[in-house]
């Protein structure tokens, strides 16, 4: 006779309702704007962002590109044309920080 095994099943639903997220207003065009590409570290996020960056450079007259890799509450920021990344400490939600240094953000979460 085999012993019974207890299995715990977790339900990934919060106990309290979460506030709805509001999307920012999209700019009419990216021409002349600065764009942040945020890599959340998921599988293939960097590949997707690389390809999207190439497409946008070709199709839109983007003024400035900023690449950022998320590490907890820090961002490693690399401006286009620069070879040295700078680390930015983030207070609060990372996406609340982006408008301080870019006009638009594209987030790559992977897959």
Confidence of residue 110 (pLDDT cuts 50, 70, 90): low
- Rounded to an integer, the average pLDDT of 43-71 is 82
Cα first-last separation, the chain: 44
42: CB partners within 8 A, 6+ apart = 108, 109, 110, 111
Q: Is residue 17 part of a domain?
A: no
What confidence score (pLDDT) does residue 40 get? 78
Q: Is residue 43 part of a domain?
A: yes
Which tokens hold the place of 96? Answer: 């609340």
Average pLDDT taken over every residue of the chain: 76
Check residues 64 and 74 and name the one with the higher pLDDT: 64
Record the pTM.
Answer: 0.63
- Count of domains forming the chain: 1
Domain holding 71, by residue range, is: 34-108
Q: Is residue 20 part of a domain?
A: no
30: CB partners within 8 A, 6+ apart = 56, 60, 61, 62, 103, 104
Q: Is residue 46 part of a domain?
A: yes
Q: Is residue 5 part of a domain?
A: no
Check residues 15 and 63 and name the one with the higher pLDDT: 63
Q: Is residue 99 part of a domain?
A: yes
Q: Is residue 14 part of a domain?
A: no
- Rounded to an integer, the average pLDDT of 85-91 is 65
Q: Is residue 92 part of a domain?
A: yes
75 has pLDDT over 80: no
């Amino acid at each position: 006779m085999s012993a019974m095994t207890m299995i715990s099943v977790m339900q990934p639903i919060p106990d309290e309702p979460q506030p709805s997220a509001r999307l920012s207003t999209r700019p009419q065009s990216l021409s002349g704007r600065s764009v942040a590409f945020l890599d959340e570290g998921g599988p293939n996020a960097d590949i997707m962002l690389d390809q999207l960056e190439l497409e946008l450079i070709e199709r839109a007259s983007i003024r400035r590109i900023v690449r950022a890799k998320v590490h907890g509450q820090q961002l490693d920021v690399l401006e286009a044309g620069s070879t040295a990344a700078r680390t930015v400490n983030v207070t609060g939600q990372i996406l609340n920080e982006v408008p301080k240094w870019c006009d638009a953000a594209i987030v790559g979460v992977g897959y």
